[in-house]
Amino acid sequence: MAGDDGDSDRGTGDDHQVGIATKARAKPKKPSQFKVLMLNDDYTPMEFVVMVLKRFFHMDLEQATRVMLHVHQKGVGVCGIFPYEIAETKVNQVMDFARQNQHPLQCTLEKA
Ligand code: TYC
């Protein structure tokens, strides 16, 4: 039909939806990472902290000793960076193990 542009609304001829900015897809987010921090105290034995770092963070003796001494000197240090649920599990494991051994060692999370 002459003059028919297929424009069902017989209006502007602009029904082909150019540049409509809708967000149809939910953007998948990468899981945010959390630092597991070890805090210094005056009572937990150095050897116990080294054992914790080896056991729960899979460090070798040299690495664990370096991190323990860093915490001892600076007051706080990073044991590792993990997705939230893993970081939270590590904190709970460390705190439970310290409590079982009657040490005041503290461990916490911080968004990386
Ligand atoms: N400051 C403790 C001591 O002198 C050792 C220590 C290191 C404790 C690191 C906690 O996260 C810690 N025995």
Q: Ligand 1 mean position to 72 CA, how many Å?
A: 5
The pLDDT assigned to 79 comes to: 98
| Any ligand 1 atom below 6 A from CB of 38 | yes
| Any ligand 1 atom below 6 A from CB of 98 | no
Query: Ligand 1: which of 52, 71, 76, 106 to mutate, judged by most atoms within 8 Å of the beta carbon?
Result: 71
How do the pLDDT tens digits run along the chain, 112 residues long? 233 333 333 333 344 445 445 556 688 888 799 999 999 999 999 999 999 999 999 999 999 999 999 999 999 999 999 999 999 999 999 999 999 999 999 999 999 9
Look up the pTM and report it: 0.77
Is there a contact between 46 and 54 (Cβ–Cβ < 8 Å)? no
Query: What gap in Å lies between CA 107 and CA 79, rounded to an integer?
Result: 9
Q: What is the side-by-side strand order in the sheet with 33-39?
A: 76-83, 33-39, 106-111
The pLDDT assigned to 44 comes to: 98
Query: What gap in Å lies between CA 89 and CA 91, rounded to an integer?
Result: 5
